[in-house]
Structure 1
Amino acid sequence: MTVPADKPKKIAIVVHREHSRPGRVGALLEKRGYELHRLCPNLGCRLPEDMSDYAGVVIFGGPMSANDCGTLAGIKCELEWIPKVVEAGVPFLGLCLGAQLLTRAAGGRVAPHPQGLVEIGYVDIHPTETGRAWFRAPMKVYQWHREGMTLPACCEVLATNDRYPVQAFRHGPNAFGFQFHPEVTLEMKRIWTLSAAERLKMPGAQQRGVHLSMHPLYDPPLDRWINGFLDRWLATDQRGAKPIAANDMSAEEPIEAAFRLAAE
Protein backbone atom coordinates (compact mmCIF):
# COMPACT_ATOMS: atom_id res chain seq x y z
CA MET A 1 0.00 0.00 0.00
CA THR A 2 1.26 3.50 -0.88
CA VAL A 3 0.07 6.90 0.34
CA PRO A 4 -3.27 7.79 -1.33
CA ALA A 5 -2.99 11.00 -3.34
CA ASP A 6 -5.64 12.78 -1.26
CA LYS A 7 -4.28 11.77 2.16
CA PRO A 8 -1.68 13.38 4.47
CA LYS A 9 1.87 12.35 3.64
CA LYS A 10 3.54 12.67 7.07
CA ILE A 11 3.75 10.43 10.13
CA ALA A 12 4.67 11.98 13.49
CA ILE A 13 7.39 9.82 15.08
CA VAL A 14 7.80 10.60 18.79
CA VAL A 15 11.00 9.32 20.44
CA HIS A 16 12.48 9.85 23.87
CA ARG A 17 16.25 10.14 23.42
CA GLU A 18 18.54 11.83 20.94
CA HIS A 19 19.71 8.61 19.30
CA SER A 20 16.40 6.69 19.42
CA ARG A 21 15.39 5.03 16.16
CA PRO A 22 12.00 4.16 14.64
CA GLY A 23 13.49 0.89 13.38
CA ARG A 24 11.41 -1.42 11.24
CA VAL A 25 8.17 0.49 11.78
CA GLY A 26 9.76 3.66 10.45
CA ALA A 27 11.26 1.80 7.49
CA LEU A 28 7.93 0.20 6.57
CA LEU A 29 6.15 3.56 6.71
CA GLU A 30 8.81 5.19 4.54
CA LYS A 31 8.50 2.31 2.09
CA ARG A 32 4.82 3.19 1.77
CA GLY A 33 5.78 6.75 0.83
CA TYR A 34 5.29 8.55 4.14
CA GLU A 35 7.62 11.26 5.39
CA LEU A 36 8.66 10.71 9.00
CA HIS A 37 8.53 13.83 11.19
CA ARG A 38 10.78 12.96 14.12
CA LEU A 39 9.93 14.68 17.41
CA CYS A 40 11.60 14.39 20.82
CA PRO A 41 9.75 16.37 23.52
CA ASN A 42 12.40 15.41 26.08
CA LEU A 43 14.84 17.50 24.03
CA GLY A 44 12.47 20.44 23.77
CA CYS A 45 10.59 19.63 20.53
CA ARG A 46 7.07 21.03 20.40
CA LEU A 47 4.33 18.58 19.51
CA PRO A 48 2.02 19.74 16.69
CA GLU A 49 -1.37 21.17 17.60
CA ASP A 50 -2.69 20.94 14.05
CA MET A 51 -2.75 17.29 12.97
CA SER A 52 -4.29 17.83 9.52
CA ASP A 53 -0.93 17.18 7.80
CA TYR A 54 -0.37 13.85 9.57
CA ALA A 55 -1.61 10.41 8.54
CA GLY A 56 -0.72 8.97 11.94
CA VAL A 57 1.28 9.19 15.15
CA VAL A 58 3.67 6.58 16.56
CA ILE A 59 5.13 7.00 20.05
CA PHE A 60 8.10 4.73 20.73
CA GLY A 61 9.77 3.39 23.86
CA GLY A 62 12.39 4.73 26.22
CA PRO A 63 14.08 4.00 29.56
CA MET A 64 11.94 6.45 31.50
CA SER A 65 8.51 5.76 33.03
CA ALA A 66 5.08 6.97 31.98
CA ASN A 67 4.81 8.11 35.61
CA ASP A 68 7.72 10.57 35.24
CA CYS A 69 5.43 13.50 34.37
CA GLY A 70 6.48 15.25 37.57
CA THR A 71 10.18 15.22 36.69
CA LEU A 72 10.29 15.12 32.87
CA ALA A 73 8.58 17.93 31.00
CA GLY A 74 8.57 15.84 27.81
CA ILE A 75 6.53 13.04 29.42
CA LYS A 76 4.06 15.57 30.84
CA CYS A 77 3.75 17.15 27.40
CA GLU A 78 3.01 13.78 25.74
CA LEU A 79 0.38 12.85 28.32
CA GLU A 80 -1.43 16.11 27.63
CA TRP A 81 -1.07 15.74 23.83
CA ILE A 82 -2.17 12.13 23.35
CA PRO A 83 -5.89 12.70 24.13
CA LYS A 84 -5.98 15.49 21.52
CA VAL A 85 -4.54 13.15 18.87
CA VAL A 86 -6.93 10.32 19.71
CA GLU A 87 -9.99 12.57 19.89
CA ALA A 88 -9.07 14.15 16.55
CA GLY A 89 -9.42 10.70 14.95
CA VAL A 90 -5.77 10.41 13.92
CA PRO A 91 -4.41 6.82 13.86
CA PHE A 92 -2.28 6.44 16.98
CA LEU A 93 0.17 3.65 17.83
CA GLY A 94 2.06 3.41 21.10
CA LEU A 95 4.95 0.97 21.48
CA CYS A 96 6.14 -0.05 24.97
CA LEU A 97 6.49 3.33 26.75
CA GLY A 98 4.19 4.76 24.07
CA ALA A 99 1.52 2.21 25.02
CA GLN A 100 1.97 2.99 28.70
CA LEU A 101 1.58 6.71 27.99
CA LEU A 102 -1.64 5.97 26.10
CA THR A 103 -2.82 3.94 29.09
CA ARG A 104 -2.19 6.79 31.51
CA ALA A 105 -3.69 9.38 29.16
CA ALA A 106 -6.86 7.25 28.95
CA GLY A 107 -7.11 7.03 32.75
CA GLY A 108 -5.31 3.73 33.46
CA ARG A 109 -2.30 2.89 35.64
CA VAL A 110 1.31 1.92 34.95
CA ALA A 111 3.35 0.09 37.61
CA PRO A 112 6.11 -2.52 38.06
CA HIS A 113 5.28 -6.23 38.32
CA PRO A 114 4.27 -7.17 41.91
CA GLN A 115 7.20 -9.61 42.13
CA GLY A 116 9.62 -7.32 40.31
CA LEU A 117 9.72 -9.51 37.19
CA VAL A 118 10.58 -8.01 33.82
CA GLU A 119 10.05 -9.07 30.21
CA ILE A 120 13.33 -8.64 28.32
CA GLY A 121 13.76 -10.93 25.34
CA TYR A 122 11.32 -13.06 23.35
CA VAL A 123 7.99 -13.68 25.08
CA ASP A 124 4.76 -15.48 24.16
CA ILE A 125 1.54 -13.49 23.83
CA HIS A 126 -1.96 -14.82 23.18
CA PRO A 127 -4.89 -13.04 21.52
CA THR A 128 -8.07 -12.43 23.48
CA GLU A 129 -11.41 -13.21 21.88
CA THR A 130 -11.66 -9.61 20.72
CA GLY A 131 -8.02 -9.58 19.72
CA ARG A 132 -8.31 -12.49 17.28
CA ALA A 133 -9.30 -10.01 14.58
CA TRP A 134 -5.81 -8.51 14.95
CA PHE A 135 -3.77 -11.44 16.26
CA ARG A 136 -5.02 -14.67 14.73
CA ALA A 137 -2.78 -16.91 16.85
CA PRO A 138 -0.24 -16.86 19.69
CA MET A 139 2.97 -15.08 18.76
CA LYS A 140 6.50 -14.80 20.08
CA VAL A 141 7.34 -11.08 20.35
CA TYR A 142 10.34 -9.02 21.44
CA GLN A 143 10.08 -7.25 24.79
CA TRP A 144 12.11 -4.80 26.85
CA HIS A 145 10.15 -3.46 29.82
CA ARG A 146 9.85 -3.55 33.59
CA GLU A 147 6.42 -1.94 34.07
CA GLY A 148 2.97 -3.02 33.00
CA MET A 149 -0.48 -1.55 32.48
CA THR A 150 -3.90 -1.64 34.11
CA LEU A 151 -6.43 -0.41 31.57
CA PRO A 152 -9.48 1.78 32.17
CA ALA A 153 -12.89 0.52 31.07
CA CYS A 154 -12.72 2.50 27.81
CA CYS A 155 -9.95 0.21 26.49
CA GLU A 156 -10.11 -3.41 25.35
CA VAL A 157 -7.31 -5.97 25.68
CA LEU A 158 -6.27 -7.57 22.38
CA ALA A 159 -3.39 -9.78 23.54
CA THR A 160 -2.25 -11.07 26.91
CA ASN A 161 0.04 -13.42 28.85
CA ASP A 162 0.39 -14.59 32.44
CA ARG A 163 3.22 -12.29 33.55
CA TYR A 164 1.87 -9.01 32.14
CA PRO A 165 -1.81 -9.43 31.22
CA VAL A 166 -1.98 -6.34 28.98
CA GLN A 167 0.23 -6.98 25.93
CA ALA A 168 -1.85 -5.19 23.30
CA PHE A 169 -4.96 -3.05 23.53
CA ARG A 170 -7.23 -0.73 21.64
CA HIS A 171 -8.63 2.60 22.81
CA GLY A 172 -11.54 3.61 20.62
CA PRO A 173 -11.44 2.95 16.88
CA ASN A 174 -8.09 4.58 16.07
CA ALA A 175 -5.64 4.13 18.97
CA PHE A 176 -3.55 1.02 19.70
CA GLY A 177 -0.93 0.20 22.30
CA PHE A 178 1.57 -2.69 22.18
CA GLN A 179 3.70 -3.56 25.18
CA PHE A 180 6.16 -5.31 22.86
CA HIS A 181 8.61 -3.96 20.27
CA PRO A 182 7.74 -4.86 16.65
CA GLU A 183 10.09 -2.09 15.47
CA VAL A 184 13.33 -3.58 16.84
CA THR A 185 15.79 -4.87 14.23
CA LEU A 186 18.69 -7.27 14.77
CA GLU A 187 21.10 -4.32 14.80
CA MET A 188 19.01 -2.63 17.50
CA LYS A 189 18.98 -5.84 19.57
CA ARG A 190 22.77 -5.99 19.38
CA ILE A 191 23.06 -2.39 20.56
CA TRP A 192 20.47 -2.64 23.33
CA THR A 193 21.90 -5.83 24.81
CA LEU A 194 25.32 -4.16 25.06
CA SER A 195 24.45 -0.56 25.98
CA ALA A 196 21.87 -1.65 28.58
CA ALA A 197 23.52 -4.93 29.62
CA GLU A 198 22.75 -4.23 33.29
CA ARG A 199 19.05 -4.77 32.52
CA LEU A 200 19.83 -8.38 31.58
CA LYS A 201 20.56 -9.06 35.28
CA MET A 202 16.96 -8.28 36.27
CA PRO A 203 14.65 -11.16 37.28
CA GLY A 204 12.99 -12.66 34.21
CA ALA A 205 15.39 -11.20 31.63
CA GLN A 206 16.91 -13.43 28.96
CA GLN A 207 20.63 -13.26 28.31
CA ARG A 208 22.14 -11.64 25.23
CA GLY A 209 22.82 -14.89 23.41
CA VAL A 210 19.17 -15.88 23.70
CA HIS A 211 18.02 -12.57 22.21
CA LEU A 212 20.28 -12.94 19.20
CA SER A 213 19.80 -16.66 18.61
CA MET A 214 16.00 -16.36 18.68
CA HIS A 215 15.96 -13.53 16.14
CA PRO A 216 16.14 -15.64 12.93
CA LEU A 217 13.42 -17.95 14.22
CA TYR A 218 10.85 -15.49 15.54
CA ASP A 219 11.53 -12.21 13.77
CA PRO A 220 10.31 -13.16 10.24
CA PRO A 221 6.69 -13.86 11.30
CA LEU A 222 6.68 -10.73 13.47
CA ASP A 223 7.95 -8.75 10.48
CA ARG A 224 5.12 -10.05 8.28
CA TRP A 225 2.56 -9.37 10.99
CA ILE A 226 3.52 -5.74 11.64
CA ASN A 227 3.72 -5.09 7.88
CA GLY A 228 0.11 -6.20 7.52
CA PHE A 229 -1.03 -4.44 10.67
CA LEU A 230 0.24 -1.03 9.58
CA ASP A 231 -2.10 -0.86 6.58
CA ARG A 232 -5.11 -1.69 8.73
CA TRP A 233 -3.97 0.77 11.41
CA LEU A 234 -3.64 3.62 8.90
CA ALA A 235 -7.15 2.79 7.66
CA THR A 236 -8.62 3.52 11.12
CA ASP A 237 -8.40 7.27 10.42
CA GLN A 238 -11.65 8.79 11.67
CA ARG A 239 -11.37 12.12 9.83
CA GLY A 240 -13.85 11.27 7.09
CA ALA A 241 -12.75 7.93 5.66
CA LYS A 242 -14.66 4.83 6.68
CA PRO A 243 -12.47 2.84 9.11
CA ILE A 244 -11.79 -0.87 8.79
CA ALA A 245 -13.73 -2.56 11.56
CA ALA A 246 -11.88 -5.05 13.73
CA ASN A 247 -14.47 -7.74 12.89
CA ASP A 248 -14.49 -7.06 9.14
CA MET A 249 -12.90 -10.32 8.06
CA SER A 250 -12.88 -9.38 4.38
CA ALA A 251 -10.45 -6.58 5.22
CA GLU A 252 -7.98 -9.14 6.53
CA GLU A 253 -7.63 -11.26 3.41
CA PRO A 254 -4.35 -9.66 2.25
CA ILE A 255 -2.66 -10.60 5.53
CA GLU A 256 -4.13 -14.06 6.09
CA ALA A 257 -0.78 -15.63 5.19
CA ALA A 258 1.08 -13.46 7.67
CA PHE A 259 -1.24 -14.52 10.49
CA ARG A 260 -0.87 -18.17 9.55
CA LEU A 261 2.92 -17.90 9.46
CA ALA A 262 2.94 -16.13 12.82
CA ALA A 263 1.22 -19.18 14.29
CA GLU A 264 3.93 -21.58 13.09
Structure 2
Amino acid sequence: MGICLGAQLIARAMGSKVYPGHQKEIGWGRLTLNDLVNNPLAILGEQAILHWHGDTFDLPSSATLLASNDNYPNQAFAIEDFCLAVQFHPEVTVSGMERWLIGHTAEIAATDKVSVTSLRQDNAEIGRTLQPIAQKIWTNWFKKLPW
Protein backbone atom coordinates (compact mmCIF):
# COMPACT_ATOMS: atom_id res chain seq x y z
CA MET A 1 0.00 0.00 0.00
CA GLY A 2 1.29 3.42 -0.91
CA ILE A 3 -0.09 6.83 0.03
CA CYS A 4 1.02 9.98 -1.83
CA LEU A 5 4.81 9.61 -2.13
CA GLY A 6 4.25 5.89 -1.61
CA ALA A 7 1.98 5.79 -4.67
CA GLN A 8 4.60 7.69 -6.66
CA LEU A 9 7.32 5.24 -5.54
CA ILE A 10 5.17 2.26 -6.51
CA ALA A 11 4.47 3.80 -9.91
CA ARG A 12 8.22 4.36 -10.43
CA ALA A 13 9.10 0.84 -9.23
CA MET A 14 6.62 -0.48 -11.81
CA GLY A 15 8.44 1.42 -14.59
CA SER A 16 6.30 4.55 -14.85
CA LYS A 17 7.44 8.14 -14.91
CA VAL A 18 7.04 10.35 -11.80
CA TYR A 19 7.30 14.09 -12.37
CA PRO A 20 6.29 17.55 -11.10
CA GLY A 21 2.62 18.21 -11.70
CA HIS A 22 1.20 21.27 -13.45
CA GLN A 23 -0.10 22.64 -10.14
CA LYS A 24 0.14 21.93 -6.44
CA GLU A 25 -2.96 20.26 -5.15
CA ILE A 26 -3.67 21.16 -1.51
CA GLY A 27 -7.13 20.93 0.01
CA TRP A 28 -10.26 18.86 0.18
CA GLY A 29 -11.93 17.68 -3.01
CA ARG A 30 -13.85 14.87 -4.59
CA LEU A 31 -12.65 12.09 -6.81
CA THR A 32 -14.12 10.50 -9.89
CA LEU A 33 -14.19 6.81 -9.05
CA ASN A 34 -13.96 4.29 -11.85
CA ASP A 35 -17.01 2.07 -11.95
CA LEU A 36 -15.30 -1.24 -11.34
CA VAL A 37 -16.83 -4.25 -9.66
CA ASN A 38 -14.00 -4.55 -7.14
CA ASN A 39 -12.95 -0.92 -6.72
CA PRO A 40 -11.77 -0.78 -3.09
CA LEU A 41 -12.44 2.97 -3.05
CA ALA A 42 -16.11 2.69 -4.08
CA ILE A 43 -17.17 3.28 -0.49
CA LEU A 44 -15.90 6.87 -0.80
CA GLY A 45 -18.77 7.74 -3.11
CA GLU A 46 -19.08 11.54 -3.07
CA GLN A 47 -16.94 11.91 0.06
CA ALA A 48 -14.33 14.68 -0.23
CA ILE A 49 -10.76 13.59 0.43
CA LEU A 50 -7.59 15.48 1.32
CA HIS A 51 -5.21 16.20 -1.55
CA TRP A 52 -1.70 17.40 -0.73
CA HIS A 53 0.90 16.91 -3.45
CA GLY A 54 2.74 18.64 -6.23
CA ASP A 55 4.06 15.64 -8.12
CA THR A 56 2.23 13.07 -10.18
CA PHE A 57 2.89 9.87 -12.12
CA ASP A 58 1.99 7.96 -15.22
CA LEU A 59 -0.16 4.90 -14.65
CA PRO A 60 1.87 1.67 -14.62
CA SER A 61 0.98 -0.60 -17.52
CA SER A 62 -0.02 -3.44 -15.19
CA ALA A 63 -2.24 -1.21 -13.04
CA THR A 64 -5.98 -0.67 -12.93
CA LEU A 65 -6.97 2.97 -12.57
CA LEU A 66 -9.33 3.40 -9.62
CA ALA A 67 -9.78 7.17 -9.32
CA SER A 68 -8.99 10.51 -10.92
CA ASN A 69 -10.02 14.14 -10.60
CA ASP A 70 -10.08 17.27 -12.75
CA ASN A 71 -6.48 18.17 -11.81
CA TYR A 72 -4.79 14.80 -12.17
CA PRO A 73 -5.99 11.74 -14.08
CA ASN A 74 -4.06 9.24 -11.94
CA GLN A 75 -5.22 9.57 -8.35
CA ALA A 76 -5.36 5.89 -7.38
CA PHE A 77 -4.55 2.50 -8.83
CA ALA A 78 -4.36 -1.16 -7.92
CA ILE A 79 -2.12 -3.89 -9.19
CA GLU A 80 -4.06 -7.13 -9.08
CA ASP A 81 -5.03 -7.91 -5.48
CA PHE A 82 -1.71 -7.12 -3.84
CA CYS A 83 -1.07 -3.40 -4.32
CA LEU A 84 -3.16 -0.29 -3.60
CA ALA A 85 -1.69 3.14 -4.36
CA VAL A 86 -3.44 6.45 -3.67
CA GLN A 87 -2.17 9.95 -4.44
CA PHE A 88 -4.51 11.55 -1.87
CA HIS A 89 -4.65 11.21 1.93
CA PRO A 90 -7.41 9.03 3.38
CA GLU A 91 -5.23 8.44 6.45
CA VAL A 92 -5.59 11.98 7.74
CA THR A 93 -7.45 12.37 11.03
CA VAL A 94 -9.17 15.45 12.37
CA SER A 95 -6.64 15.83 15.19
CA GLY A 96 -3.66 14.81 13.06
CA MET A 97 -4.42 17.49 10.47
CA GLU A 98 -3.42 20.21 12.93
CA ARG A 99 0.19 18.97 12.84
CA TRP A 100 0.13 19.20 9.05
CA LEU A 101 -1.08 22.78 9.24
CA ILE A 102 1.73 23.70 11.63
CA GLY A 103 4.43 21.78 9.76
CA HIS A 104 3.43 23.09 6.33
CA THR A 105 2.60 26.70 7.16
CA ALA A 106 5.18 28.08 4.70
CA GLU A 107 3.96 25.79 1.91
CA ILE A 108 0.36 26.84 2.52
CA ALA A 109 1.32 30.52 2.63
CA ALA A 110 3.04 30.16 -0.76
CA THR A 111 -0.25 29.20 -2.42
CA ASP A 112 -2.98 31.64 -3.32
CA LYS A 113 -5.81 29.10 -3.31
CA VAL A 114 -5.86 27.85 0.29
CA SER A 115 -5.19 29.13 3.77
CA VAL A 116 -4.64 27.55 7.16
CA THR A 117 -8.03 28.91 8.21
CA SER A 118 -9.89 27.36 5.27
CA LEU A 119 -8.07 24.03 5.59
CA ARG A 120 -8.82 23.94 9.32
CA GLN A 121 -12.49 24.71 8.72
CA ASP A 122 -12.82 22.12 5.95
CA ASN A 123 -11.05 19.55 8.13
CA ALA A 124 -13.49 20.12 10.98
CA GLU A 125 -16.47 19.67 8.65
CA ILE A 126 -15.21 16.94 6.31
CA GLY A 127 -12.63 15.03 8.33
CA ARG A 128 -15.10 13.56 10.79
CA THR A 129 -17.08 11.87 8.02
CA LEU A 130 -13.93 10.66 6.25
CA GLN A 131 -12.38 8.82 9.21
CA PRO A 132 -14.88 5.92 9.46
CA ILE A 133 -15.01 5.57 5.67
CA ALA A 134 -11.21 5.41 5.45
CA GLN A 135 -11.19 2.80 8.21
CA LYS A 136 -13.56 0.64 6.14
CA ILE A 137 -11.34 1.04 3.06
CA TRP A 138 -8.28 -0.20 4.99
CA THR A 139 -10.18 -3.02 6.69
CA ASN A 140 -11.74 -4.25 3.44
CA TRP A 141 -8.43 -4.04 1.57
CA PHE A 142 -6.44 -5.94 4.17
CA LYS A 143 -9.12 -8.62 4.51
CA LYS A 144 -8.82 -9.54 0.85
CA LEU A 145 -5.03 -9.90 0.87
CA PRO A 146 -4.04 -13.52 0.28
CA TRP A 147 -1.87 -13.89 3.41
Rate the CA distance shift 1:141–1:216 in 2: closer, same or farther, 3 A. same
- Distance in 1 (CA, whole Å) between partners of 2:92 and 2:113 is 17
Tell me the SS of whatever aligns to 1:139: coil
**1:54 aligned residue:** none
Rate the CA distance shift 1:231–1:179 in 2: closer, same or farther, 3 A. same
Tell me the SS of whatever aligns to 1:158: strand
CA displacement at 1:183 relative to structure 2:
1.6
The answer to whether the aligner puts 1:122 opposite 2:39 as a matched pair is no
**1:150 aligned residue:** 58
**2:77 aligned residue:** 169
- Distance in 2 (CA, whole Å) between partners of 1:166 and 1:204 is 24
Please tell me the root mean square deviation across aligned C-alpha atoms, in Å.
Answer: 2.0
CA displacement at 1:141 relative to structure 2:
0.5
CA displacement at 1:122 relative to structure 2:
0.8
CA displacement at 1:217 relative to structure 2:
2.0
Tell me the SS of whatever aligns to 1:99: helix
The one-letter code of the counterpart of 2:27 is: G
Structure 2 unaligned regions, length at least 5: none
The within-5 A match list for 1:6-17 is none
The answer to whether the Cα contact below 8 Å between 1:160 and 1:168 also exists between their aligned partners in 2 is yes
The answer to whether the Cα contact below 8 Å between 1:182 and 1:222 also exists between their aligned partners in 2 is yes
**2:15 aligned residue:** 107
Rate the CA distance shift 1:142–1:102 in 2: closer, same or farther, 3 A. same
- Distance in 2 (CA, whole Å) between partners of 1:209 and 1:123 is 16
Tell me the SS of whatever aligns to 2:88: coil
Structure 1 unaligned regions, length at least 5: 1-92, 240-264
The answer to whether the Cα contact below 8 Å between 1:130 and 1:157 also exists between their aligned partners in 2 is no
The one-letter code of the counterpart of 1:163 is: N
- Distance in 2 (CA, whole Å) between partners of 1:125 and 1:203 is 22
The answer to whether the aligner puts 1:233 opposite 2:141 as a matched pair is yes
Q: Deviations over 1:95-124 (max 9, x none)?
A: 11111111111111211123xx11112122
The count of residues paired between Structure 1 and Structure 2 equals 145
The answer to whether the Cα contact below 8 Å between 1:107 and 1:151 also exists between their aligned partners in 2 is no
Moved more, 145-154 or 193-202: 193-202
CA displacement at 1:214 relative to structure 2:
0.9
What TM-score does the superposition give when structure 1 sets the normalisation length?
0.51
The one-letter code of the counterpart of 2:48 is: K
Tell me the SS of whatever aligns to 1:113: strand
CA radius of gyration, larger in: 1
The within-5 A match list for 1:176-191 is 176-191=84-99
CA displacement at 1:186 relative to structure 2:
2.7
What TM-score does the superposition give when structure 2 sets the normalisation length?
0.87
- Distance in 2 (CA, whole Å) between partners of 1:131 and 1:202 is 41
